Amino acid sequence: MTRSKGVALVTGSAQGIGSAIATRLARDGFDVALNDLPAKNAVLEDLAAELRRGEESEGSYSPRTCIVVGDVSKEDEVKRMIDTVVDELGSLDVMVANAGIAELADILTETVENWERIMTVNVTSTFLCYKYSAMQMVKQGRGGRIIGASSVVGKQDTVTQAQLPLRDLKIAQYVKLPPRAAFTAQILGTLLGAVLTFVAFFLQWRLRTRHPRWFVKCNYIVAAALDRGAQVMVFILSFTVQGAGGTSHLFPEWWGANQGGNYDHCDILN
């Protein structure tokens, strides 16, 4: 048995990219805390059991897991969630603020009530997860990593999702703002099924080829939402974008600009 790399908390981990992130972190040797709404507790239980079985069958590190159900848009529940993770697993080293919702509505049909609900669930919850995980990491005195998930519409808006550009832009600003906090990256991508998986892949390719400056200036993690989104976590905590160092992962030539033979990197444009 190898030593744990640390404790990671993944919000919204009952399905989609959140589930894939938790799976990848467990596979890479992290103890994992799983969060979602109380109604999804049974799904989280199944995922936790799967994580333990999967690692045991591979003969590698068998992760400890814990389940912390709760609404991440509520301050008291976020505090309780982080306290529970620390009590059960000993620390908090990685926060993945992945929970979020999306609904189709343009500016003409969107209601104030729905706008406020989406902003609370997506933006306020991200702020709360960042704030209280950062406080815990400072208390521990050894740093950590805070990762925010959003869709590509933070950079490329859509007609039918009026709330998402502002929501995802706010998440991006949270990532870039604090000068001394260990904010790793913003995940760009959505996993809502086979069709949207392809759309997310195409949109990210379009952003990389037409707007490479966005990926040079910030430590963005860019990956296609393939194989249940597990590709996303290949990049988590490895700082693969130019200027960040760490591990590099090769992509096909058409994915982006060639940087020393690595198409995952973008050239700096003068």
- CA-nearest of 162, 144, 132, 149 to 188 is 149
| Residue 58, pLDDT score | 54
* Cβ–Cβ < 8 Å for 89, 33: yes
| Residue 143, pLDDT score | 81
- Eight-class DSSP state of 259: B
| Residue 24, pLDDT score | 85
- Residue labelled with tokens 């998986």: 197
247-to-27, 65, 183, 236, 263 alpha-carbon distances in Å: 17, 27, 18, 10, 13
Crossing angle of helices 41-58 and 16-27, in 10° steps, is 30
* Cβ–Cβ < 8 Å for 203, 182: no
Question: What architecture is domain 7-255?
Answer: 3-Layer(aba) Sandwich (3.40)
pLDDT of the chain along its 270 residues, tens only? 567 889 999 999 998 788 888 988 898 889 999 999 999 999 999 999 999 886 555 556 689 999 999 999 999 999 999 999 999 999 999 999 988 877 666 677 778 888 888 888 888 898 899 999 999 999 999 888 888 776 544 444 444 444 444 444 444 444 444 433 444 433 433 333 334 444 445 555 555 555 555 444 444 444 434 344 444 444 445 433 333 333 444 444 444 444 554 444 433 332
* Cβ–Cβ < 8 Å for 198, 225: no
Burial label for 54, CB within 10 Å (0-12, 13-18, 19+), is middle
As given in the structure block, the two tokens for residue 118 are: 């989406």
**Structural domain boundaries of the chain?**
7-255
| Residue 56, pLDDT score | 55
Q: Model's pTM, two decimal places?
A: 0.65
